[in-house]
Structure formats: structure tokens, C-alpha cells
A and B are shown apart, each in its own frame.
Chain A
Amino acid sequence: MPHISPGSHLPRIPHIPHLPILRAGKAYRSLSTKVLDNLATGEPVAEISQANSGLIAKDLAEIGRARHDLESLTTRELVAISKKAGELFATTDLPLGGATQSADDYVVQTSATTGLPQVMVRANMAKIRFVLEEMETVLGGLTRGLDLEILDRGFGTQDGRMVSYRRETDALGAVLPSNSPGVHSLWLPAIPLKTALVLRPGSREPWTPLRIAQAFIAAGCPESAFHYYPSDHAGAQQILLRTRRSMLYGDRATVDPWRSNPGVQIHGPGWSKVVFGADAAERWPDHLDLMVASVADNGGRSCINASGIWTPSHGRAIADAIARKFAEIEALALDHPEARLAAFPSRKAAESLSHVIDSQLAQGGAEDMTARHRGDANRVAEAGGCWFVLPTVIFCEDPNHPLASAEYLFPFVSVVEVPQDELLHKMGPSLVVTGLTEDPNFRRELLTATNVERLNLGASGARGAGAAIPTSKIAWDQPHEGNLFEHLYRQRSFQGVA
């Protein structure tokens, strides 16, 4: 990675923040560091302590202590701490390696190293605050309205039935990505669920997990609940092997070896899609804004962004209309208030990806519909010192074309035309599907499709396009790629004598 350099042998850079390791909440400065650069200027932004895998293993062998600290608080107290942490996360100066970090510092720093525009980092910060502040609602969704005191007592009566839940681990491991801070909302409920956190941040986004941990600690959460280990792959592997429950974010090559491990909740590529029924496809213009939002919200960086639009008809027209909309999106500097695109780590990375797309187009059977609307402009653009890949829509005649199932880290979508009766089978796995149909048979097929994780079932237009939900719109009280409560707790059989 051109902007990350091994730093253990370099002289310390005095004027940039140092992000330490957190060992049960205690800061530890490693002799092994990495320096993260500003994508726009190349200037160093932060020095990050790197945990050696043995240090992680040693700490995890002693992690049971955190459980006792968290169990000394009730779930309701931890929900209140979460609420306070949400406010602190979004508003206050929090510790950062011997100095402090304001909310504005956080936005600027996160944008500088991840390439996400500042306006989007701010929106993601608001998402995290929302989830923390609405933790009770989130827990209600995950536990289906369980009386939270049952988690404190270990058993109790819910709707007239005796229930008991057993926590399956002392700590939740999380091997995290760098694409967008909003993704961190998913592990936040672990704390009120009395489970310590073992966080391995993404290499370019060390900021958010550390700031969340500091916000929790400042809000009164036991510091022993937070382990923060920037590290290499060996460190990540230690976390996955040694926490009995974990979350793993990564591309297919990263996550595939762990799929057979039931303790590892996989968050791989999303391959999210907008799916038209034959009825709704006739009224596709009603859903144009929904499709653009599904693909391009948050810079197209999320696994919930659509990378496919699958329709029984009007595919080329749909692709052309999206392409016109995409052509209006321009590359802007990361601090521009209208910025809608996220930067790539380097010009080389942006051009390599564009080249991959061109190579796949050269096979035939697919067309870049954006090219004609982009005029003379190249797919790769520079703005404010950063490099971007401009939004791209492909029309695929063949559902087996490699671009039909491609997913890239920018607003990219393939429109694929397939008969309705073949569509769900051919589209492959999907994290989120926005299904647009009022055909009761197709709705039932969508509801029963085992290759669809999250389903946003929308109207075809007869009740107005406003009734449909983009793939990128998340209800936080719904499970995401598995239910965190069910990952951490197991309902056990229980009989007690009063």
C-alpha cells in the first residue's frame, strides 16, 4: 500500500497523533508502528501502534476479567452509558494517544486517510450516534422485545413463558474494514449485551473504533471492556481464533477460509441488488432516484450499496437513465460540501480498477453506458489532490458476464436483463435486495429466497415510488448478516424452583 509505510525503524514524527493499542482500556505504545498518510497531500496524518500477535494472545488469555467488570452493571445502566457515549462520540474532545481529538478533528482525519468525503464521515458519525442513543430500540429489535432485566438475572418470564439466555463468549472479536465508519454501528450493542470488545481496525480507518471506545470509557463504561489492536493479518487471525464469537469483514479471499467456523460471523462482499418484477419494470422511471441512491449513497462504499439491478425488461433504458444521472456526479475535493465520491488510495489503484473494468468489457456482451454521457472525460479523475473512479453503469446482456456479479468500491452497477422466472436463481447471493413488485407470486419468491439476506420489499409504483426503500437505507433494529444477540447469546432450557 503506497500510503502506509512500516515505521518501526523510522524516527518518531513528533507533530502527528499517535494511536496507541488499548489493552483492557490501558494505552500501550508499541515499538512497531505504521504511518498513515493524507491521501490528498501525502503528508503523514497519524502514527499507529501495531500489536504483535503474541501480545494479543496473551491479553485474550486473561480476558475473563472484563466480564466481571461489565456484569457489575445492569443492562439498563449500560444502555444509559451507550446513550451518553453517543453524545460524547459526536460532540466532545476525547483522548487520542496523550492528546485529545475533537469531533471535527475526527471528521477531517478519518476523511484524510479513508478518502471518504468529510460530509459523508459526518453522516456516518450521525449514524453511530443514532445507534448509541437509540440502543434500547436496537436491542429490542435484536432480542425481539426481550425484557432486558432477563439478561441481568439470566432467566425470567417473557410473555408468560420462562426463558433463559447464556452468553457464549466473554469477548466479541471484530476484524474491521476501512471502507466506511457507519459499519461500526453493528458491533456497538455488544457492550450493553455485557460482552467485551476486541477490535482490530482496518488499516486505513483506525479512528472510529478507538473514538467509540474512548466515548464509552468517558461515559462510565469499564475500560477493561475495550481491547484495540491495530495489527497485521497474524494479529487478526489470533482474534478470530481466540474469541469464541467474532465478526470478520473482508473480501471473498479473506472471509472464505472462515465460513465453516460458526463462531465467526462473516461480513463479506454485499452484492446487494435492486430487483424488478415484470409488473414494476414497466414503471421503472418511478424508481430512478431509488436506484441511483442505492448505488451511489455514501460514495458507493458500503456492502449495502447496490452493485446490480436485475430486471425482466427495459434493462438498456434503465441503464441509460442511470448513466445520465451518474454523469452529473463529479469528482470533488474531500472537504467539498457537495462531494459524493470517495477517493482511492492512489492514482495507480484507481487506474488499475478502471483497467480491470475495461478488460472485462473487452470480452463483449456488456457495455459501459456511462461512457457516452461522460463526454471526453476519463473514468478516472483527480480533484483536490485525490484520485477517483467516476460512477459507472454497465448493461449486461448475459447474466453470466463477469461484470454482472462484480462489486467495486465506488458507485458501480450492472443492469442485467433476465426473465422473471430465472431472475432470483441467477442473481446469486445478495446482502440486501430491494424488491419492486406487487405480483404476489414474485413477492412470495422473494420472501422465501435463501440467497437474500435483507429484504426491502417495495411497491411497484401503484402506491407511489415513495413506498419503496433503497438498499442503502438501514433499519438499525433489524439484524444484519446475522443477529448479534443470537451470535452472542444462546437460549437455553431452564427450569427453576422458586
Chain B
Amino acid sequence: MNPATENSLAARSREARAALDAHVREMVAWHFSPETGCPFWLDYAAKLSFDPRERIQGFDDLKHLGHFEDEWLRGGPVRRWLPKGLEGEPLYAFETGGSTGLPKTRLNILDFRIDYSQFSETLSDETFPKDSDWLMLGPSGPRRLRLAIEHLAQVRGGIAFHVDLDPRWVNKLVKAGKHQDMEDYKEHVIDQGLKILRGHDNVKCLFTTPKLLESLCEKISLPKAGITGIFCGGTEMNAQFHRFAREELVPGVDFVPTYGNTLMGLACSKPFDPETKDYTITYYPPHPRAVFELVDPDDPERVVEYGETGRVMLTTLTKDFFMPRFLERDEGERAEPIDPYPWDGVANLRLFTRFEESVVVGVY
């Protein structure tokens, strides 16, 4: 990086930080004002010894609110999350997981449209052509992704074709060790996708998960089927998969890895440079609507150094949803700001190691 670029990037990072602090003040004012806030946060504030609108003047001050707990989202009444300022708007309830007990529910009003409209701006019009249609080969049901991809297609002038895919059934099959049934179900999903690709010539864009992309590519050459852009996400993806996808699965097709979830929105990845062939996947959140911090797992108040491994701490700051400092089930390396995204990112995102099995005692 030359000094001029560096200075420019540093200046843009400072601007981004200032914008974030201003956005935090705006969002705290929104969520903690009786005129606009939701019952949950107003009740929460009532138990505090301070008024968040006075105490929280920038991003760093969010620490006074502790850590958001996603267990708060399990069950109802779901309207306790509805900001008064958005009453009257159409409501969506999106769910996560759901394989055990009550699923966690997140109320969504405007966010999925804003997030995916913004994401649309990052896509190439050459490889994700406007007015072309999409195949959404991903989860259906009460998932944010299902509507979000449809909105993305619509924003770009296209139609999204969908399949039926119930990830909760897949989870049950996995837990029961029904490997063959799982394969059969995957075939069933792929068959639906193939029919759409064969029946609709204008489908040029694809959303899918890594595993479904692998399975689809066993059945069909996506470039030959007219696919020019693939937006891939939904589950963990590492550098090896990224390389395998570009080199062997879909060479020549624009491959865009993303990281998203119901609680945050959609993080974009660092653009791939065919010169360096660095397949490391580094995600940058949609600042200032969401922020990644990489923190010391033993001391979440300490942000780790660049390049150091940390646990992902996620903050969402939108009018729909206020989620300060949620400790995610993921870890990765803290990544430096880059030109298109002058704020912190996370590289090599993966499941938090401490949640993996620690001791195996058995015959093998």
C-alpha cells in the first residue's frame, strides 16, 4: 500500500468512525425514546441507573449496556421488539435455528430490504445482469434469506425462482445419523433447482449454500446453463472451498462469498484479486448498520490486534433492531480496513473453537 493510499484509507477510516459514533447516538435516541423505542429496550432502560441517551455518546459507550443475549429472542411476545416509531408498517417474523425448543424470532420491518438493496450496489452488472432472473437454491420457510433474495432479484429487475428446502428437517436427519435420507433430501432439492434452470432461460444469477453448490455442479455445468454470477452464503465457508469453487466447480463464473444472519444483515467479502489468488475470505459488515469486533474470548472488553484471533462480537444498529455487543458463536482473525470498506473486518470466520468437542475418549 503506498503512503498516499494509506493516508486516504486512514482518513476514510476516521470518517467512518465518526459516522459510526453519530449513528450510535441516533440509534440510541431512537430505541430509548418512548416516542420511537420498543417495549423491550424501554423496560431495559428503566432498570438502568442512567439514561442511555445521555451516557452513550459513541460506539465505545455501548459497553455500558453489557452484552445482548440471543436467548432474549426465544418465544414471544414478539411485539416487545417492535419500535413504536415503526408501528403500522408491515411486520415480518424471521426465525433462526429451531431444531431444539422454541426458535429465536427476530422482528423485521425494513432491514432486509435496506440490507439487500445496499448489497445489490456491490454486485457487478456484468455478471449479475440487471433484469435477469435468479434461482434461490437455499432455505425456504420462516427464513430471512428467502424474502431477502427475492427482494434482491426484484431490486435488480428480476424474478427469484424458489425451491422447497426445510433446514430443520435436514438437522433432524443429521442428528439421527440418517445419512442416506439426507442425501435423498439433497437430491430432491437439487432436482427442483435443475428443473428451474432447464425451464427458465433468463436465470443467470444464483444464490446457494456451499454444499448445495457442490451438489448442483455434479449434475450440471452452471456456465453452460447460463449462470454468470453466484452469491454464496448461508453456512461457513473457508479459503479452500473458495479456491475449489473458483478453480474447479464454477471456473469463469463470478463467485461472491457472503456472511449473513438474521441478527445482523449481510457482510460482503473482500473482492477477489485474480493476480494474487489470495483465497482468504474476509468479511466486512454493513457499516454503520452493523459492526464486527474481534475480542479476547477470556476478556471481551479487549479488542484483539490486527491479525490476531478473536471471538466475533456483533453489534446491530438499525431502526428495526438494536443489538449491542452480542458474542457470536464464531471466531476469526481481525482484519484491517480496506479501500471499499474502511472499517474492521473478520478473516477466516469459523465456529468458535471452544464450542467444538474438547475431549474424545473412546476406542478409536
**A residues within 8 Å of B by Cβ?**
1-2, 6, 8-9, 30-32, 50, 52-55, 57-58, 61, 177-179, 202, 237, 240-241, 249-251, 254, 256-258, 261, 269-270, 303, 345-346, 348-349, 352-353, 356, 407-409
The answer to whether B249 and A54 have CB atoms under 8 Å apart is yes
Q: Which residues of B contact A9 (CB under 8 A)?
A: 280, 309, 332-333, 347-348, 350
Q: Which residues of A contact B10 (CB under 8 A)?
A: none
CB distance from B329 to the nearest CB of A (A): 15
Given known A31-B279, A58-B218, A249-B364, contact A52–B177 (CB-CB < 8 A) = no
The answer to whether A261 and B244 have CB atoms under 8 Å apart is no
Q: Which residues of A contact B48 (CB under 8 A)?
A: none
Given known A179-B363, A349-B359, contact A256–B177 (CB-CB < 8 A) = yes
Q: Apart from A9-B350, A269-B363, list 16 A-B contacts with CB within 8 A.
A: A1-B360, A9-B280, A9-B309, A9-B347, A31-B238, A52-B240, A54-B210, A54-B249, A57-B214, A58-B218, A58-B248, A177-B364, A237-B179, A251-B364, A349-B361, A409-B363
Given known A8-B348, A32-B239, contact A53–B359 (CB-CB < 8 A) = no
The answer to whether A251 and B248 have CB atoms under 8 Å apart is no
Given known A8-B240, A9-B347, A32-B238, contact A241–B363 (CB-CB < 8 A) = no
- Chain B 281-324 interface mask (CB, 8 Å, partner A; 1/0): 00000000000000000000000000001000000000000000
Within 8 Å of chain A (Cβ to Cβ): is B362?
yes
> Pick the contact of A356 from B214, B240, B361 — CB < 8 Å?
B361
The answer to whether B363 and A240 have CB atoms under 8 Å apart is no
The answer to whether B309 and A352 have CB atoms under 8 Å apart is no
CB distance from A59 to the nearest CB of B (A): 10
Residue among B178, B332, B333, B359 with max Cβ neighbours from chain A (10 Å): B359
> Pick the contact of B248 from A2, A55, A202, A254 — CB < 8 Å?
A55
The answer to whether A54 and B360 have CB atoms under 8 Å apart is no
CB distance from B245 to the nearest CB of A (A): 8
Lowest 8 A-B CB distances belong to which pairs?
A257-B177, A54-B214, A32-B240, A9-B348, A177-B364, A251-B362, A31-B240, A31-B239
Residues of chain B in range 333-364 having any CB-CB distance to chain A below 8 Å: 333, 347-348, 350, 353, 357-364
> Pick the contact of A30 from B214, B240, B364 — CB < 8 Å?
B240
The answer to whether A352 and B210 have CB atoms under 8 Å apart is no
The answer to whether A250 and B364 have CB atoms under 8 Å apart is yes
The answer to whether A353 and B361 have CB atoms under 8 Å apart is yes
Q: Which residues of A contact B213 (CB under 8 A)?
A: 54
Interface size class of B (residues with CB under 8 A): 35 or more
Q: How far is the CA of A8 from the CA of B347 in the complex (A)?
A: 11
Given known A2-B358, A256-B177, contact A31–B243 (CB-CB < 8 A) = yes
- Chain B 192-236 interface mask (CB, 8 Å, partner A; 1/0): 000000000000000000110111011000000000000000000
Q: Which residues of B contact A240 (CB under 8 A)?
A: 179
The answer to whether A53 and B238 have CB atoms under 8 Å apart is no
> Pick the contact of B363 from A55, A251, A257 — CB < 8 Å?
A251
Given known A9-B347, A31-B243, A32-B238, contact A352–B183 (CB-CB < 8 A) = no
Q: How far is the CA of A179 from the CA of B360 in the complex (A)?
A: 13
CB distance from A154 to the nearest CB of B (A): 31
Q: How far is the CA of A54 from the CA of B248 in the complex (A)?
A: 10
Within 8 Å of chain A (Cβ to Cβ): is B241?
yes
Q: How far is the CA of A270 from the CA of B362 in the complex (A)?
A: 12
Residues of chain B in range 54-68 having any CB-CB distance to chain A below 8 Å: none
Taking CB as reference atom, which chain B residue is nearest A30?
A: B240
Given known A8-B239, A257-B177, A257-B178, contact A352–B363 (CB-CB < 8 A) = no
Within 8 Å of chain A (Cβ to Cβ): is B180?
yes
Q: How far is the CA of A240 from the CA of B182 in the complex (A)?
A: 13
Q: How far is the CA of A261 from the CA of B360 in the complex (A)?
A: 26
Query: Can you spell out 18 A-B residue pairs with CB atoms less than 8 angstroms apart?
Result: A6-B350, A9-B333, A9-B350, A31-B239, A52-B240, A54-B244, A57-B218, A58-B218, A58-B249, A179-B364, A254-B364, A257-B176, A303-B363, A349-B361, A352-B359, A356-B361, A409-B361, A409-B364
Q: How far is the CA of A376 from the CA of B348 in the complex (A)?
A: 49
Q: How far is the CA of A352 from the CA of B361 in the complex (A)?
A: 8
CB distance from A19 to the nearest CB of B (A): 15
The answer to whether A54 and B241 have CB atoms under 8 Å apart is yes
The answer to whether B363 and A202 have CB atoms under 8 Å apart is no
Given known A6-B350, A55-B248, A257-B179, contact A407–B363 (CB-CB < 8 A) = yes
CB distance from A299 to the nearest CB of B (A): 13
Taking CB as reference atom, which chain B residue is nearest A9?
A: B348
Q: Which residues of B contact A179 (CB under 8 A)?
A: 363-364
Q: Which residues of B contact A345 (CB under 8 A)?
A: 360
Given known A178-B364, A179-B364, A251-B362, contact A55–B244 (CB-CB < 8 A) = yes
Q: Which residues of A contact B280 (CB under 8 A)?
A: 9
Taking CB as reference atom, which chain B residue is nearest A11?
A: B307
Q: How far is the CA of A54 from the CA of B214 in the complex (A)?
A: 6
